[in-house]
Structure 1
Amino acid sequence: MPFPDRFVWGAAAASYQIEGGAEADGKGLSVWDVMCRQPHKVAGGHTGEVACDHYHRCAEDIQLMADIGLQAYRLSLPWPRILPDGIGQVNEKGLEYCDRIIDTLLEHHIEPWVTLFHWDYPQALFEQGGWLNRDSADWFAEYTQVVVDRLSDRVTHWMPHNEPQCFIGLGHQSGDHAPGLKLSFSEVLTAIHHSLLAHGKAVQVIRAQAKRPPQIGTALVGIVSIPATDHPDDIAAARSSTLAVSGKHCWNNTWFADPLILGHYPEDGMARFHQIMPNIQPGDLETICQPLDFYGLNIYQGQTVRAESDGCVTTIPHPPGGPRTTMDWPVIPEALYWGPRFIYERYQLPIVITENGMANCDWVHRDGQVHDPQRIDFLTRYLQAYGRAIDDGIEAKGYFLWSIIDNFEWAFGYDKRFGIIYVDYETQQRTLKDSAYWYKDVIVSNGQIL
């Protein structure tokens, strides 16, 4: 099952999760630096202060990416390393680090796909209100301008934000992630609105100032409902569930994507939240809704639903004892068929899977290798489902495996391993897992071996 010509095969990682160098060369504090210093916030008291030491080992890591044959690498930039206070004074050493990564990637013929914000929000700006402050949109635009001025002669692929559902939902509603807030839902909606404004302003800056023609997209969580059968009623139920705003939480697609792509908030959400809507000023939705070139989806799992005779939709529980990753997430390959299909039908933008992968119970075996057959099986099943979606007419541009290397998994610390490269955190030794060699064959064959 070969994938389309010019389909992009890549892998991804995020700055705070791999870099370390928490105070190196003038870097400012992020909300995650502060979160990790608080007791009982991160498993094992782990922090990102060293992580994979990618800050000092990026050349070695990029060589491994080249050995695997990556065509593209989705990286995020460290906002507080570039602007220690979030705005204002630029840290030249932070930009030199970004230059070093971009140049090394290009030397190895790996295309950089840049995410501007993957959760390491500058602590200095959080202390001024963070995403609750409307000025956050302008702060983010200023940061974007600095990055575009420096890197857009070499970078053409851009995503402003990674997973706003998570950095708002987990960071500002449940308090599980930095900055650890438990806000009212009206405040959550305000934070979402300001983050969407920031996205729109960043796209405006990139479009206006990029030195090379840009390709700009999203990196949104894909919340996927899967039909219990192929009956049209079940498919319709799964579609409506995938595209619904179902409660006072962030776990949906349309509250985030509709404003970005369609220029308005979804009607069902408006009806549900009408008494607590954020302050939407004239021109806000026009600013938010900027032309995008692709819809980036991060998909790991899904839920199965069926239609009932009364028109309701029932969620079917996952079977007891069914396959699960070490994140305790169910293995649902069909999510990579139905998610791209339903999203493409609604928004008519080419799909890029910007994250997909699994946490596995990995260790170095007696032969010195890391054997992870579960991950290979997982990825094969999901990619086959994605391939079926493409065969059925979904326009798709690429796939980014999460993640290229084991790393700091946020509140779970180093207890979860998502990488296709194993990291011994005591020695920083890297070992390619079996899945890395398998993925190399997938890339060479353009998916033919799946």
Structure 2
Amino acid sequence: MSATDTETMELDFSRADFPDDFVFGTATSSYQIEGSRFGGCGTSHWDTFAATPGNTVRGEDGATACAHYHRWESDLDLVRDAGFDCYRFSTSWSRILPEGRGVPNAGGLDFYDRLVDGMLARGLKPFATLYHWDLPAPLADLGGWRNRDIAGWFADYAEVVMKRIGDRVATAATVNEPWCVAWLSHFMGEHAPGVRDIRAAAHAMHHVLLAHGRATQAMRALGMGNLGLVTNFEYAAPADDSEAAKRAARLYDGIYNRWFLGGVFDGAYPEDVLVGLGPHMPEGFENDFDIIGTPVDWLGVNYYTRKLIAPDGSGQFPALREIEGPLPKTQMNWEIYPEGLHHFITWVHDTYTKGLPIYVTENGMASPDQVLNGKVADPSRIDFLNRHLGAVRRAMAGGAPVKGYIVWSLLDNYEWALGYEKRFGLVHVDFETLERTPKASWHALGRALRR
């Protein structure tokens, strides 16, 4: 296939293939693009995590990132010009409340005020997320997600933000990917705050949902509607046909997928996970499900990959390990498995939400994209979008109430502990000059979504 062919690859769908009220969008997060050194933003635990040798690739951080804080107008033009209906963004707790509590940073609130008005001026629906991982360092000093008080701190933050922009956002979500906030960061230690402790993980796994419930209540008290939670999912498949591998995959599914849905929709955590986490849970946790289960108006599904799971033979909870699978992989070394997205949409609808609107709030892939002659060919991403949107359409044909699909991500950005190597964007960013170059996938989406 020639360079010209890859530049003109088309998507297999158009707007006409989806209901009139179906929304297409793209997403970013505050710490990954804004630049934490701008505009009076406070220090977050990601700043201190990245400043600790060995935690991130080359010690890279989000101090500058994509400098979206200064370039937001032209970045919103890119969202509009690709034909999207909505823009999913996150507000930075550290930018709005540098101490995590107390007096807000007026410049931070002004920034999100301008950002939301900029979306509306371009005909974009603002999809807001309150927390995408940048916990203010002063709250991390107090234990962060290990401290039950964080539920109240988060609710107060939600009130501060939404008193300012809540009248203009189309949807509001509380926490992005609670598994990452709790397990990846407090058990595996791969993300800030970099803790590897089962008690810390158990407390965080509960407090992140308690905070979600309290913040949802705070926004309801402001008269807001269209509130949701964004959970991430991984398809856990047994590495072989043994009963031990099947049990390991089921437990992985419990930790990753069923824990958070069970808390919000069933008022209970899965028993197989509590076998390991139960002894380390906060005292009286079972009394919090009325708050955790505060009704939401929609659920966000973030999906990227499947994992092959096997027992690790240690006998130490959770006693499982990942096995490299045979399928084609992204730059993240994640298997490309669109069937998993179909599974989770239908499973969530049948088992938990039962008619509640579902948005695919993140789906996308990283690839080692380069600018050649002023253009970026990314045929693998176009193929990825085709296959995953095909899975969405199959789920909808089966009755699942999917209301939108949001591509991760608008821009190549700071990919957390992996620094700036992994490029998820529809738009290439040169991290030296900060020049933006729309990729072939951006152009293909523009052609497919043109009204």
Amino acid at match of 1:337: H
Alpha carbons 1:353, 1:400 under 8 Å: kept: yes
Q: How many Å separate the matches in 2 of 1:303 and 1:283?
A: 33
Matched letter for residue 330 of structure 1: E
- Report Cα offsets for 1:283-326 as digits up to 9, x if no partner: 41101111111111110012479xxxxxxxxx997654x31101
Match of 1:223, SS state, is strand
Cα drift, residue 279 of structure 1: 1.7
What's the Cα RMSD here?
2.5
What is the aligned partner in structure 1 of residue 329 from structure 2?
324
TM-score, with structure 2 as normaliser: 0.88
The residue number in structure 2 matching 1:15 is 30
**Quick check: 1:199 aligned with 2:212?**
yes
Q: Distance in 2 between the 1:149 and 1:73 partners?
A: 20
Tell whether the 8 Å contact from 1:35 to 1:41 is kept in structure 2 after alignment.
yes
Question: AA paired with 1:354?
Answer: T
**Deviation string for 1:202-226 (max 9, x for gaps)?**
000111113xx42111111112247
| Pair 1:441 & 2:447 matched | yes
Partner of 2:226: 215
Match of 2:46 in 1: 32
Task: Determine the C-alpha separation between the residues in 1 that align with 2:248 and 2:83.
Answer: 38
Relative distance call for 1:26 and 1:442 in structure 2 (3 A) is same
The code of the aligned residue for 1:358 comes to M
Once superposed, which parts of structure 1, at least 4 consecutive aligned residues long, lie more than 6 Å away?
A: 315-318
Q: Name which of 266, 269, 278 aligns with 2:270.
A: 266
**Partner amino acid, structure 2, of 1:342:** W
1:260 positional shift: 1.2
Unaligned runs of 5+ in 1: 229-236, 306-314, 446-450
Q: How does 1:18-167 map to 2 (within 5 A)?
A: 18-20=33-35, 22-167=36-181
What per-residue deviation string (whole Å, max 9, x for no partner) do you get for residues 72-95 of structure 1? 011000111100100101111100
Give the partner amino acid of 1:119. Answer: W
Query: Which secondary structure does the structure 1 equivalent of 2:145 belong to?
Result: helix
Task: Report the Cα distance in structure 2 between the residues aligned to 1:281 and 1:338, rounded to whole angstroms.
Answer: 30
Q: 1:172 aligned to 2:183?
A: no
CA distance in 2, matches of 1:266, 1:338: 19
Q: Is 1:275 aligned with 2:279?
A: yes
Distance in 1 separating the partners of 2:92 and 2:322: 40
Correspondence for 2:368: 361
2:409 to 403, 412, 424: 403
Q: Give yes or no for contact 1:226–1:338 (8 Å, CA) kept in 2.
A: no
1:267 Cα shift? 3.0
* Partner Cα separation in structure 2 for residue 319 and residue 285 of structure 1: 37
Please give the alpha-carbon distance, in whole angstroms, between the structure 2 residues aligned to 1:19 and 1:116: 15
1:428 is paired with a residue whose SS is coil
Q: How does 1:327-406 map to 2 (within 5 A)?
A: 327-347=332-352, 348=354, 349-366=356-373, 368-406=374-412
Contact kept in structure 2, 1:259 and 1:265, CA below 8 Å: yes
Bigger CA drift: 295-304 or 326-335?
Answer: 295-304
Residues 214-266 of structure 1: per-residue CA shift (max 9 Å, x gap):
211111111224799xxxxxxxx99x998x4449xx84211111111222222
Q: 1: CA distance between counterparts of 2:330 and 2:351?
A: 30
Letter in 2 for 1:277: M
C-alpha deviation, 1:274, in angstroms = 3.4
Percent of matched pairs sharing the same residue: 42
By how many angstroms is 1:5 displaced?
2.5
Answer with 263-272 or 63-72: which moved more: 263-272
* TM-score calculated relative to the size of structure 1: 0.88
Inter-partner Cα distance in structure 2 for 1:318 and 1:57: 39
Letter of the 1:207 partner, please give it: R
Count of aligned positions: 421
Give the corresponding residue for 2:9: none
Q: Distance in 1 between matches of 2:158 and 2:107?
A: 17
Q: Distance in 2 between matches of 1:67 and 1:415?
A: 26
| In 1, Cα distance between equivalents of 2:115 and 2:364 | 24
Q: How far is 1:444 from its partner?
A: 3.1
Whether the aligned pair in 2 keeps the contact of 1:223 and 1:299 (CA below 8 Å) is yes
Q: 1: CA distance between counterparts of 2:34 and 2:89? A: 11
Measure how far apart 1:408 and its partner are.
Answer: 0.3
Tell me the distance in 2 between the aligned counterparts of 1:224 and 1:107. Answer: 39
| CA–CA separation in structure 2 for the residues paired with 1:380 and 1:94 | 38
Shift of 1:173: 1.4
Q: Superposition pairs for residues 290-301 of structure 1, below 5 Å?
A: 290-301=294-305
